[in-house]
Amino acid sequence: MHSKHGHYFEDLSLGMSESYTRTVNEADIQQFAEVSGDNNPAHLNEEFAAGTRFKKRIAHGMLSGSYISTVIGTKLPGPGCLYMSQTLKFREPVYIGDEVTATVTITDLNERRGYVTFSTICSVGDTEVIRGEAMILVPRRNQD
């Protein structure tokens, strides 16, 4: 188990950014359906998906959205932070085999409350598939 603390509020500055990239595979779709209980056939059934506007199976939107949580919880700000809120706008579908990159960038630092606001974007190549904003409570160095 990691005991290394992530960034403290005092370490952060506007514009800091980190990313996480993962290629969505069949096992991810199956496991996410199992863990979340979201067994919508648009994700799991090729025949059903062929009749949808996307014409083939798509990944769960929240699967790609969870990669944002990966960046926040492991890289920036990293271990020790607390998620307060997250908005997500699903702009384009993600398909099995797509390489999704989640990027978080600091857009605001609330010194008084210790809140950090991030723009959160998931993209496949040059296509933005999710856009949102996260607010994270980040501990100060002297609070540990």
pLDDT, tens digit (0-9, with 9 covering 90-100), for 110-138 = 999 999 999 999 999 999 999 999 999 99
Is it the case that residue 3 has pLDDT exceeding 80?
A: no
Expressed in percent and rounded to 5, the helix, strand and coil fractions of the chain are 30, 35, 40
pLDDT at 142: 81
pLDDT bracket for residue 144 (50, 70, 90): low
Q: Between the CA atoms of 122, 30, 85 and 20, what dihedral angle is there, to the nearest 10 degrees? A: -40
Candidates 131, 59, 128, 122; CA nearest to 89 is: 131
CB of 19 within 8 A of CB of 102? yes
Stronger pLDDT, 90 or 142, i.e. the higher one = 90
Candidates 104, 78, 108; CA nearest to 14 is: 108
pLDDT at 119: 98
Write down the pTM of the prediction. 0.93
End-to-end CA distance of the chain: 18
pLDDT at 55: 97
pLDDT at 4: 84
CB of 95 within 8 A of CB of 117? no
pLDDT at 12: 98
Q: Between the CA atoms of 96, 98, 102 and 103, what dihedral angle is there, to the nearest 10 degrees? A: -170
Is it the case that residue 1 has pLDDT exceeding 50?
A: no
pLDDT at 104: 98
Domains of the chain: 9-143 (3.10.129.10)
pLDDT in tens, 63-112: 999 999 999 999 999 999 999 999 999 999 999 999 999 999 999 999 99
